[in-house]
């Protein structure tokens, strides 16, 4: 299902950022990276660009999805299965070098197709963030790790914990003036420096936009804040409440500005998950010697369009969208106002979502179209179509395909075929409209075909196909009730309906009713009561008792619940992770926990300080699944006594 492809997002001040989510191809493999030379010894620092060269407006920044080169394939990791009992192994005593080498090894074995390794590495980085922040501290190891990460498959890694200390070293070596716009080229990196008053000390702060020159798409890899402390030391800190980057589009304003009227500048970042309706706004300011997200904790500033700052800088307003009717892609919208109060931007109570005044929402409001007489439904669509705009392409295509089906139901086959011919010239393969046209053309020439069969074919061809079999039957059974003088299944067969299941419904004080589920109606059941003198009264009913669909096949193992990953990555709460995993095991008795979930459980025990349980979890996973990425990662957390 297609979505509106363009997000228009406020660039701070008067700049407007327009981002289109287009795929980006992988980059060339970089040259062999330096492994032993500390950053401060690099001699190939290019000359600085004079500040005067920065007078032209700076381009807006789109750093995502991250596009990285491909690592050179490495031999498979192999920590053989343990050769001694569990009591001979203890939790590994990590040091900076050991952590860095394990991290590098994990990165170099990463492949774009191996979801387990990708998730495992993300969890490993989360462990480092919580337990060993700042690793690796050795400049040579940090440089080796950074270039391994830059060579990793696209859209798999968060490089911020490594690239920011690397850039911090560069700034401390070159000591550029943060009070003037500047561009620095250092080896494979270009830094754009935009002055910002972060803490009231003008000239001591800036936003730094980091570009990796081996990326042919010229996109930024990171946007960070930098400050010079009272001792003249440059700092590029990690952000508190960091925004997600893996699998996301990241958009930043070209320059920090004062969002709350306190005289200090803040940096705005918008994060958009591909396919999501809204982006999420983060506003970062310098507070208490670090970078803090100024959106109220636990709240999400979701929006589509352009934030509107109040004139007195006391807050801003966002237009938030929500998909109301997926079949038509009808969206509702509401305005949410955020006020600066007690050190955070806090949302004010907002009205409910209201459908937008679009073709999609007008036609969605006219549903169920297939329960109307075809002439009336066609007239309803024709009355709405003149108001279509270029943004209504999907709704207009759905309306056209719906009209085709309505003409068939109205015995206007020639009209329907003519409209299909017109649609086929513009329907692109792989799109919703392309699928619907192809499905129609694949069946239309079959003998003894009925409109209901075509309707069912369209409904099955795509999500929200351009017909509704049950709505069509509701109208047909009302206008042309089945005759009591003939078997029900013979009459429904002439409509093209195939019986999948039957039942007889008996209720005290009521005539027996025959209930039928047709193949073409999915899980929907119909009951036919002999209430008329000559005909049956048909109605849609709930599934009869005893005819419930067979429950899904029990899984072989328990996967990690999405809520557990959210607890780990978003809230950094391993206690919550353990509760979620425990609840999943309790509600699925007899189903073993999968290797990924077992590792997450052991890691969570490790993070909360439950050493015995962590050691036991790592050891059992390693001994039982040593040839899996999860077994290998578990093995890395243990050492022989």
Residue 618 to residue 510: CA distance in whole angstroms: 63
Contacts 24+ apart (CB under 8 A), 273-277: 273/247, 273/248, 273/249, 274/21, 274/65, 274/247, 274/248, 274/249, 275/3, 277/3, 277/304, 277/321, 277/322, 277/323, 277/331
* Paired tokens of 312: 């007195």
Q: Note the pLDDT of residue 36.
A: 28
Note the pLDDT of residue 549.
77
Q: Is the pTM of this model over 0.85?
A: no
> Which of 391-397's residues contact partners 24+ apart within 8 Å by CB, and which partners?
391/4, 391/358, 392/358, 392/359, 392/360, 394/1, 394/2, 394/329, 394/360, 394/432, 395/328, 395/329, 395/330, 395/358, 395/359, 395/360, 395/363, 396/359, 397/423, 397/427, 397/432, 397/433
Give pLDDT, residue 607. Answer: 97
Residues 6+ apart with CB under 8 A from 74: 105, 108, 109
Dihedral (CA of 593, 597, 603, 608) sign: negative
Give helix 374-384 / helix 393-409 axis angle, nearest 10°: 160
Name residues whose C-beta falls within 8 Å of residue 379's C-beta, 6 or more positions apart in sequence: none
Report phi then psi at 123, rounded to 5: -65, -35
Instruction: Give the three-class secondary structure for 268.
Output: strand
Q: Which residues pair with 337 in a beta bridge?
A: 317
Compute the distance between CA of residue 607 and CA of residue 414 in angstroms, rounded to an integer.
69
Q: Identify the band that residue 551 occupies on the pLDDT scale cut at 50, 70 and 90.
A: low
Mean pLDDT of 260-266: 95
Selection from 169, 217, 173, 171 nearest residue 191 by Cα: 171
Per-residue pLDDT at 39 exceeds 50: no
Q: Which residues contact 63 (CB under 8 A, 6 or more apart)?
A: 219, 220, 221, 222, 223, 245, 250, 251, 252
User: Above 70 in pLDDT, residue 285?
Assistant: yes
The percentage of the chain sitting over the pLDDT mark of 70, rounded to a whole number, equals: 87
Q: What is the pLDDT of residue 76?
A: 54
- Say whether pLDDT at 622 is over 50: yes
CA distance 228 to 638: 41
Cα first-last separation, the chain: 56
Tracing tokens 């990276």 back to the chain, one arrives at 33
Per-residue model confidence as pLDDT tens digits over 429-470: 999 999 999 999 999 999 999 999 999 999 999 999 999 999
CA-wise closest residue to 67 among 221, 189, 188: 221
Question: Is the confidence at residue 59, as pLDDT, over 80?
Answer: no
User: Is there a contact between 125 and 161 (Cβ–Cβ < 8 Å)?
Assistant: yes
- Residue 417 has φ and ψ, to the nearest 5°, of -65, -40
**Per-residue pLDDT reduced to its tens digit, 559-595:** 999 999 999 998 899 999 999 999 999 999 999 999 9
Dump pLDDT digits (tens) for 330-387.
999 999 999 999 999 999 999 999 999 999 999 999 999 999 999 999 999 999 999 8
DSSP assigned state of 432:
H
Q: Residue 34: what pLDDT?
A: 28
Q: What is the largest CA-CA distance in the chain?
A: 98
Long-range contacts of 453-461 (CB under 8 A, 24+ apart): 453/496, 453/520, 454/405, 454/408, 455/370, 455/405, 455/409, 455/520, 456/496, 456/520, 458/401, 458/405, 461/435, 461/436
Residue 172 clears pLDDT 90, i.e. is over it? yes
Spatial CA neighbour of 362 closest among 394, 387, 389? 387
Q: Across the chain, how many H-helices and E-strands are there?
A: 17, 24
DSSP single-letter state for residue 98? H
CA distance 360 to 461: 21
* C-alpha separations of 285 from 168, 182, 205, 237, 289 in Å: 18, 21, 11, 12, 10
Interior CA angle at 422 toward 420 and 425, to 5°? 105
| Contact in structure between 181 and 54 (CB atoms under 8 Å) | yes
* Cα–Cα dist 157/121, whole Å: 8
Q: Please, which pLDDT band fits residue 218 given cuts at 50, 70 and 90?
A: confident
**Confidence class for position 71, pLDDT limits 50, 70, 90:** low
Q: Cβ atoms within 10 A of the Cβ of 391, count?
A: 14
* Model pLDDT, residue 78: 61
Instruction: Look at residue 461 in the predicted model and tell me its pLDDT.
Output: 96
Contact call for residues 632 and 77 (beta carbons, < 8 A): yes
Lowest mean pLDDT among 34-38, 208-212, 314-318, 502-506: 34-38
pLDDT value at residue 31: 28
Exposure b/e, 33-65, CB count within 10 A at least 16 = b: eeeeeebeeeeeeeebbeeeebeeeeebbbbbb
Residue 80's pLDDT band, with cuts at 50, 70 and 90, is confident
The pLDDT of residue 153: 87
Among 228, 216, 282, residue whose Cα is nearest residue 253 = 282
DSSP for 313-365?
SSEEEEEEEEEEETTTTEEEEEEEEEEEETTEEEEPP-PPPEE-SSHHHHHHH
Average pLDDT rounded to a whole number, residues 102-129: 93
């Amino acid at each position: 299902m297609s979505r509106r492809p363009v997000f228009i997002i406020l660039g701070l001040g008067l700049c407007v950022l327009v981002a289109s989510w287009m795929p980006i191809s992988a980059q060339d493999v970089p040259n062999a990276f330096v492994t032993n030379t500390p950053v401060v010894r690099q001699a190939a620092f290019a000359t600085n660009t004079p500040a005067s060269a920065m007078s032209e407006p700076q381009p807006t920044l789109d750093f995502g999805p991250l596009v990285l080169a491909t690592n050179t394939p490495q031999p498979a990791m192999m920590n053989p299965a343990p050769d001694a009992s569990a009591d001979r192994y203890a939790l590994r005593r990590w040091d900076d070098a050991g952590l860095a080498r394990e991290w590098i090894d994990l990165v170099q074995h990463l492949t774009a197709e191996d979801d387990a390794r990708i998730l495992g590495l993300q969890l490993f980085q989360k462990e480092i963030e919580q337990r060993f922040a700042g690793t690796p501290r050795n400049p040579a190891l940090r440089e080796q790790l950074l270039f391994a990460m830059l060579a990793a498959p696209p859209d798999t890694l968060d490089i911020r914990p490594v690239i920011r200390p690397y850039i911090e070293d560069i700034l401390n070596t070159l000591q550029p003036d943060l009070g003037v716009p500047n561009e620095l080229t250092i080896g494979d990196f270009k830094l754009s420096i935009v002055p910002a008053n972060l803490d009231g000390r003008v000239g001591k702060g800036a936003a730094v936009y980091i570009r990796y020159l081996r990326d042919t798409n010229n996109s930024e890899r990171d946007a960070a804040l930098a400050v010079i402390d009272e001792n003249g030391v440059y700092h590029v800190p990690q952000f508190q409440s960091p925004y997600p980057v893996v699998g996301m589009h990241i958009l930043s304003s070209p320059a920090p500005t004062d969002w709350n009227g306190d005289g200090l500048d803040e940096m705005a970042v918008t994060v958009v998950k591909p396919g999501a309706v809204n982006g999420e706004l983060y506003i970062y300011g310098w507070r208490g010697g670090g970078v803090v997200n100024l959106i109220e904790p636990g709240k999400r500033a979701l929006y589509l369009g352009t934030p509107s700052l109040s004139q007195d800088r006391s807050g801003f307003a966002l237009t938030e969208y929500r998909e109301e009717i997926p079949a038509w892609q009808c969206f509702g919208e509401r305005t949410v106002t955020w006020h600066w109060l007690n050190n955070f931007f806090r949302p004010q109570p907002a009205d409910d979502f209201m459908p937008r005044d679009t073709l999609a929402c007008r036609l969605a409001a006219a549903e169920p179209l297939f329960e109307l007489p075809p002439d009336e439904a066609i007239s309803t669509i024709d009355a709405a179509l003149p108001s279509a705009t270029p943004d209504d392409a999907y709704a207009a295509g759905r309306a056209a395909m719906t009209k085709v089906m309505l003409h068939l139901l109205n015995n206007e086959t020639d009209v329907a075929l003519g409209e299909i011919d017109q649609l086929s010239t513009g329907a692109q393969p792989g799109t919703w409209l392309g699928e619907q046209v192809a499905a129609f053309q694949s069946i239309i020439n079959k003998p003894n075909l009925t409109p209901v069969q075509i309707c069912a074919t369209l409904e099955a061809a795509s999500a929200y196909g351009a017909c509704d079999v049950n709505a069509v039957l509701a109208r047909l059974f009302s206008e042309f009730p089945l005759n009591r003088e003939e078997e029900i299944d013979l009459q429904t067969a002439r409509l093209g309906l195939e019986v999948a299941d039957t039942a007889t419904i008996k209720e005290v004080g009521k005539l027996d009713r025959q209930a039928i589920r047709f193949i073409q109606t999915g899980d929907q059941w119909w009951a036919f009561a002999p209430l008329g003198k000559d005909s049956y009264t048909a109605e849609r009913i709930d599934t009869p008792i005893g005819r419930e669909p067979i429950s899904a096949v029990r899984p072989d193992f328990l996967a990690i619940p999405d809520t557990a990953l959210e607890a780990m990555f978003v809230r950094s709460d391993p206690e919550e992770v353990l509760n979620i995993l425990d609840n999943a095991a309790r509600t699925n008795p007899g189903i073993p926990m999968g290797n990924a979930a077992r590792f997450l459980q052991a890691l969570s025990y490790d993070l909360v300080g439950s050493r015995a349980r962590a050691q036991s979890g790592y050891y059992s996973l390693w001994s039982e699944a040593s040839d899996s990425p999860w077994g290998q990662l578990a093995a890395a957390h243990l050492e022989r006594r």
